[in-house]
Amino acid sequence: MTDAPAFGLSDTDLAAHNTVFASDALKGRVAVISGGGGGIGRAIAWLYARLGASVVVTGRKPEKIDPLIEALRAAGHTASGETLDIRDRAQVDGFWARQWADKGGADILVNSAGGQFPQAAIDFSPKGWNAVIDTNLNGTWNMMQAAALKWREFEHPGSIVNIVVVTTHGLYGVAHSMAARAGVISLSQSVAVEWAPYNIRTNCIAPGAIETEGWNVYSPAARAAYPKTNPMMRVGTAWDIAEASAFLSAASGNFITGEVLTVDGGGQHWGETWTTGKPDYFDV
């Protein structure tokens, strides 16, 4: 079990957390979750499995994925996984080919793989910029297109949820990620139309400050300010995102496509998040 993470919910928490959904809300569905070993992806894997889905978790590090699969199976759920770098198109295509050839295809894709490092934009190195764009924009696209090609080939309906960030207001020190995620949102809105004839829905979730192990890249001072970045004056949990994602993936989302569901405690309307710490210039 990947228990007792430094930040966020443990497998024990996720196995027992209350849910508003019926236990068969995703019965018989196969859900692929990229970044499934991370904080939000792991919560999504637990919730979807508990709602009856067979979950397939992917990520680069087997040490994050393997214990999760073991824990899900020990709890009686159907789970499998593969190591996969979403930036590597050949790996992505190979994964989707195997998923359809040997593992029963897929109905749902959740792209939770992603991330960035906090730095003032003026100091970005070309390599750092490219790493974040490649991960969040190209990597997400690789997974989306590879999934959609299979859904078109097999004339099978599909649903995609992309986990992005709030790009409209108030998140600073991660301009590379803002650029990439704005790209993912626009892309998702475009293909929501283009792929509607294939019965593929594409939506995004924009989380606010959600306490997960992904917060390790932020300084203690930056993290300490996160609860005050929204009018609810607290941070959210990975479960908040998992339930929003389930809403979009399950039948409750059947008439929703091209949407961005913001789950940020109202932070898009009030508050600001400085991942690098707030510069004195703005501290008036």
Ligand X SMILES: NC(=O)C1=CN([C@@H]2O[C@H](COP(=O)(O)OP(=O)(O)OC[C@H]3O[C@@H](n4cnc5c(N)ncnc54)[C@H](OP(=O)(O)O)[C@@H]3O)[C@@H](O)[C@H]2O)C=CC1
Ligand Y SMILES: CCC/C=C/C(=O)SCCNC(=O)CCNC(=O)[C@H](O)C(C)(C)COP(=O)([O-])OP(=O)([O-])OC[C@H]1O[C@@H](n2cnc3c(N)ncnc32)[C@H](O)[C@@H]1OP(=O)([O-])[O-]
Among 49, 68, 113, 184, binds ligand X (CB under 6 A): 113
d(CA 207, CA 140): 16
Helix (H, G, I), strand (E, B) or coil at 211: coil
Q: How is residue 102 written in tokens?
A: 């040997």
Binding residues with ligand Y: total (CB under 6 A): 19
Task: Answer with the entry of ligand Y, ligand X, none that 169 interacts with (C-beta below 5 to 8 A by kind).
Answer: none
* DSSP summary character for residue 268: T
- Is residue 243 within 8 A of residue 18, CB to CB? The reply is no
Site string for ligand Y, 116-135 (x = CB under 6 A): xx-x-----x-xx--xx--x
Taking alpha carbons only, the member of 7, 5, 14, 13 closest to residue 33 is: 14
**From start to end of the chain, where are the E strands?**
30-34, 54-59, 79-83, 108-111, 158-163, 171-172, 200-207, 260-263, 273-274
Residue 27 CB, nearest approach to ligand Y (Å): 31
Applying CB under 6 A, among 46, 195, 226, 239 the residue interacting with ligand Y is: 226
Residue 213 in the binding site for ligand X (CB under 6 A): yes
Q: Which stretch binds ligand X (CB under 6 A): 102-110, 151-159, 211-219, 247-255?
A: 211-219
- What residues numbered 127-166 form the site for ligand X, per CB under 6 A? 135, 139, 163, 165
The contact set with ligand Y (CB under 6 A) reads 115-117, 119, 125, 127-128, 131-132, 135, 165, 209, 212, 214-215, 217, 226, 273, 275
